[in-house]
A and B are shown apart, each in its own frame.
Chain A
Amino acid sequence: MQKNAYFRSLTIPLLLLLPQLAITVVFFYWPASQAVWQSFLLEDAFGTSTQFVWFENYQSLFADPGYFKALRNTAVFSTFVCVFSLSIALLFAVMADRQIRGAEIYKTLLIWPYAVAPAIAGVLWIFMFDPSLGMLARGLQSLGIAWNPRLNGNDAMTLVILAATWKQISYNFLFFLAGLQSIPKSVIEAAVIDGARPMRRFWTIIFPLLSPTTFFLLVVNIVYVFFDTFGIIDTVTGGGPAGATETLVYKVYSDGKGGSNLGGSAAQSVILLVMVIAMTAVQFRFIERKVNY
């Protein structure tokens, strides 16, 4: 039996697909292929001559300790941001799910940070934690903690992690809340009658039932940390001090724009492209298989 409606000719389906294809080609395939092409080229500092060098850009990239440092920074940065933003958002969502009165206000307020542009979010955190102006920085200093993200790499990393986490909590919160609300109430009640106390109920029933949401968010968060945190890093630390907060995507920018190493920068973005394709592929595979039980 034919289940799906279908078109007899190809013209209409192609016409319907055209806008989407056009957008994908113009904004994705074309720049991506440019990047791939660029990654095989070597250009001199003044842009006067260009030479095709095969994989030389990639070779010099893998010989560069700065690249591995950026890789390590990215790993640290993304691990902390994902763990913090997911767990805090989950905690908030569980609270919001329980609360009945004023829940709407609570939810609305929690969603706001998501609407703040990354650069603005960065500026907010600079103000709060600026070693000479920031209220919170002063607080830390008065506690005897030597806080200076301008000089101390770890402090700078902490600061960008905080800012990036803060901004992502809203998004995760929304998804977790929707996930919690889609768990049938009777399943929770059955667990109550089955004698599961709240903590046990959470870990044996609610958390496993949320796992599709958690997994989806994990991938989305990794992609967020890899790419969308550029604005935060640029405003808060500019990758410094001494490259302590330079992530992979920031290095693409600083090498290409600041270092005028267009070929190397393109090679890095090609590697990032491969990474994100891999992550998305993993996500699709899992969503198809595991997510519906």
Chain B
Amino acid sequence: MAQVTLSSVKKVYAGGVEAVKGVSFDIPDGGFCVLVGPSGCGKSTLLRMVAGLETISSGEVSISGRVVNQIEPADRDIAMVFQNYALYPHMSVYDNMAYGLRNRGTPKDEIEKRVKEAARILAIEGLLERRPRQLSGGQRQRVAMGRAIVRKPQVFLFDEPLSNLDAKLRVQMRVEIKKLQRALGVTAIYVTHDQVEAMTLSDKLVVMNGGQVEQIGVPAEVYRKPASRFVATFIGSPPMNLLPAAIDGPGIVALGDALLEARDLKQNLASGTKVEVGLRPEDIEIASEGQAGALPFDVEFIEELGATQLFHGKLAGQPFVMQAATGDVAAEARRLWISVDPDRVHVFDAQSGIRLGRE
């Protein structure tokens, strides 16, 4: 049982810079937790504190109920995959994978069994005699994974492991990592700045910004109900449109002259309260002129993505993007009438950026 628990974990560097400002969450046994956020948000620092490569300024990290703050990385029963793979360049693939076991005094035949097994799982049996420099990026990535799995750790830590790979390989390795983690049932913490990786891999998504957690949840929930303006624009591609608006009445926001119904909206907000309305480009529907709740959208140019098209233009005087399946909307259209399902209208506090949803 490898449950990982973080409680009020802080990292303060000499000089007073707070990289991580008190983070608490827990990952159930066998869970796949992704920490996502822009660079400098503290996600890597947090991962390195779990690994033991950074000291924990305050708070506690525990693995399987054991507080590991003062425990050496080697004794935390974790394995880590680094962004640049961090393979030992002077050792063969076999030795790279065997190194951690040898350091722990594992018997030779056991080492051989485990390395062979890992190599079979990762389909790198033919590469065991090679040196890292003779391998491609994808193969190095597999060796790095192999080095992690031979140890049979309680927790896998991944520090942006796919960011050095090309786009095609990244998608492939992403699927493999997920499959492998499922098959082995090992708890995993995965750091990335790529929201697609974050959405696809995680069962628990932790969105971080400026050293703080913005939202924790299952990916679908984070996508459907972003807790803040930051999460709303960070998760989802193309990013959510944000438009200044004001409260008009219960469940109604005014976007300039137009009124928009929002179902997930906090009650008892005073009329005229300044808010921001978030609309995802993919949630926009085509309406007809004069239809109740239809908004006028002036198209300026169109980006072709193949299966879909992005319509860029202005809505209520603000820049706006809409996504539609190719062919659904006439490409020469200059003015469109659009509507949005009231369930998919997000309203955020204009100042704090916090979601103004129902309790």
Contacts and interface: CB of A to CB of B under 8 A. Distances in A.
A209 interface: yes
Given A184-B84, A187-B86, A187-B88, A193 B51 contact: yes
A248 B105 CA distance: 50
A293 B133 contact: yes
A186 B133 CA distance: 16
B53 A196 contact: no
Given A186-B82, A189-B53, A208-B90, A196 B133 contact: no
A189 to B, nearest CB: 5
Contacts of A200: 103
A194 interface: yes
B84 A191 contact: no
B27 to A, nearest CB: 19
A65 interface: no
Contacts of B52: 192-193
A189 B99 contact: no
Contact of B104 (A187, A191, A195, A205): A195
Nearest to B99: A194
Interface in B124-143: 131, 133
Given A200-B103, A204-B99, A293-B131, A190 B82 contact: yes
Nearest to A188: B86
A200 B102 CA distance: 11
Interface in B70-85: 72-75, 78-80, 82-84
A86 to B, nearest CB: 19
Contacts of B82: 186, 189-190
Interface in B99-124: 99-100, 103-104
B103 A194 contact: yes
Given A194-B147, A208-B90, A293-B90, A186 B83 contact: yes
Contacts of A187: 86-89
Contact of B73 (A193, A208, A209, A292): A193
Contact of A190 (B75, B80, B104, B131): B80
Nearest to B134: A293
A75 B240 CA distance: 75
A279 B86 CA distance: 34
A186 to B, nearest CB: 4
Interface residues of B, number: 26
A184 B90 CA distance: 13
A204 B52 CA distance: 21
Contacts of A208: 90
Nearest to A101: B14
A205 B103 CA distance: 12
Given A186-B83, A293-B131, A192 B90 contact: no
Contacts of B53: 189, 192-193
A210 to B, nearest CB: 10
Contacts of B104: 195
Contacts, number: 66
Nearest to A209: B90
A292 B131 CA distance: 11
Contacts of B147: 190, 194
Contact of B88 (A190, A195, A292): A190
B103 A195 contact: yes
Interface string B318-343: 00000000000000000000000000
Contacts of A190: 80, 82, 86-88, 147
Interface string A182-223: 001011011111111100100011001101000000000000
Contacts of A195: 74-75, 100, 103-104
A129 to B, nearest CB: 42
Contacts of A293: 89-90, 131, 133
Contacts of B75: 195
A192 B99 contact: no
Contacts of A196: 74, 99, 103
A201 to B, nearest CB: 9
A30 to B, nearest CB: 44
B15 to A, nearest CB: 13
Nearest to B72: A192
A244 B51 CA distance: 58
B190 to A, nearest CB: 16
B88 A205 contact: yes
A189 B100 contact: no
A288 to B, nearest CB: 15
Contacts of B133: 292-293
Contacts of B88: 187, 190-191, 205
Q: Which of A187, A194, A196 has the most CB of B within 10 A?
A: A194
A192 B86 contact: no
A127 to B, nearest CB: 44
B90 A193 contact: no
B86 A186 contact: yes
Given A189-B80, A200-B103, 10 more contacts: A184-B86, A186-B83, A187-B86, A187-B87, A189-B86, A190-B80, A190-B82, A190-B87, A193-B73, A292-B133
Interface of A: 184, 186-187, 189-197, 200, 204-205, 208-209, 211, 292-293
25 contacts: A184-B84, A186-B82, A186-B83, A186-B84, A187-B87, A187-B89, A190-B80, A190-B82, A190-B88, A190-B147, A191-B88, A192-B52, A193-B51, A193-B52, A193-B53, A193-B74, A194-B147, A195-B75, A195-B103, A195-B104, A196-B74, A196-B99, A200-B103, A209-B89, A209-B90
Nearest 9 A-B pairs (CB), nearest first?
A194-B100, A195-B74, A186-B86, A195-B103, A190-B86, A186-B82, A208-B90, A193-B73, A187-B86
